[in-house]
């Protein structure tokens, strides 16, 4: 299968920040709501963009300051290195025509992440949870990417670290890959039966170079 496009998830796939986000969210909940939230409780909220998640958790009187504090802290502690270097991602572009992103992140946090990692110029199309009415596990954004870039579904691969990624890819009718290197839900991810499973970024790089 000659690949035309690689579509990446972000948190846990391009950058090792899933646990960082969980801990930060827990801290914000404790500060503004005075209660503890388990890791699994936080993960169960994932799918919609961050600003929508905050609306579902925080009452209106503390929503704005809680979200702004989250963004400020996220900016301060965000990693500056990802799982792939810019050289590696540019190398991928010698093997495939397009690199795209579909993330459930909000547009604000996505922009921050790309800036922190220096990846803004690399991707041909970036869609976030704010860009569609329905985010993961729905395939709406994947359909948009396929349409805008005029992709052949059989030559498109969506790689992510979450069960929601594989579910969205399957719903869109494209190939899916599990990024085990950054997942916090390995067993659930594997239960979704992705087409490919990669333990390390190096394994994925080799796979792309041989396609």
Confidence of residue 47 (pLDDT cuts 50, 70, 90): confident
156-160: strand order across its sheet: 125-127, 98-102, 5-8, 156-160, 175-179, 196-198
Q: Report how many domains make up the chain.
A: 2
- Residues 22, 12 share a domain: no
The answer to whether residues 115 and 59 belong to one domain is no
* Average pLDDT value over all residues in the chain: 95
Domain extent for 109: 5-16+81-209
CATH of the domain at 148: 3.40.50.1000
The domain boundary, picked from 31, 56, 77, lies at 77
pLDDT per residue as tens digits for the range 12-45: 999 999 899 999 999 999 999 999 999 999 999 9
- Is the domain of 133 the same as that of 186? yes
Find the mean pLDDT for residues 99-119. 93
| Mean pLDDT computed over 126-149 | 95
Q: Are residues 179 and 193 in the same domain?
A: yes
pTM: 0.91
What is the percent of the chain where pLDDT is above 70? 100
Same domain, 37 and 135: no
Query: What would the mean pLDDT of 171-186 be, rounded to a whole number?
Result: 96
56 and 92, same domain (yes or no): no
Give residues with Cβ within 8 angstroms of 165, minimum separation 6.
9, 13, 136, 158, 159, 176
DSSP 129: G
Give me the residue label for tokens 């699994």: 40
- How many C-beta atoms lie closer than 10 Å to residue 198's C-beta? 18
pLDDT of residue 1: 65
């Amino acid at each position: 299968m000659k690949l035309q496009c690689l579509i990446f998830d972000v948190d846990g796939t391009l950058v090792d920040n899933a646990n960082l986000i969980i801990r930060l969210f827990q801290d914000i909940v404790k500060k503004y709501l005075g209660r503890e939230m388990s890791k699994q409780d936080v993960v169960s909220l994932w799918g919609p963009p961050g600003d929508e998640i905050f609306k579902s958790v925080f009452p209106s009187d503390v929503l704005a300051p809680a979200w702004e504090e989250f963004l400020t802290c996220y900016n301060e502690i965000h990693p500056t290195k990802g799982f792939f270097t810019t050289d590696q991602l540019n190398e991928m572009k010698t093997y495939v025509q397009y690199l795209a992103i579909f993330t459930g992140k909000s547009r604000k946090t996505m922009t921050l992440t790309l800036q922190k990692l220096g990846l803004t110029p690399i991707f041909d199309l970036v869609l976030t949870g704010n860009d569609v009415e329905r985010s993961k596990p729905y395939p709406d954004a994947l359909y948009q990417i396929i349409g805008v870039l005029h992709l052949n579904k059989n030559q498109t691969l969506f790689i992510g670290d979450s069960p929601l990624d594989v579910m969205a890819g399957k719903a869109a009718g494209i190939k899916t890959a599990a990024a085990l290197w950054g997942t916090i839900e390995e067993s659930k991810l594997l239960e979704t039966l992705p087409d490919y499973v990669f333990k390390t970024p190096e394994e994925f790089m080799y796979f792309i170079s041989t396609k």
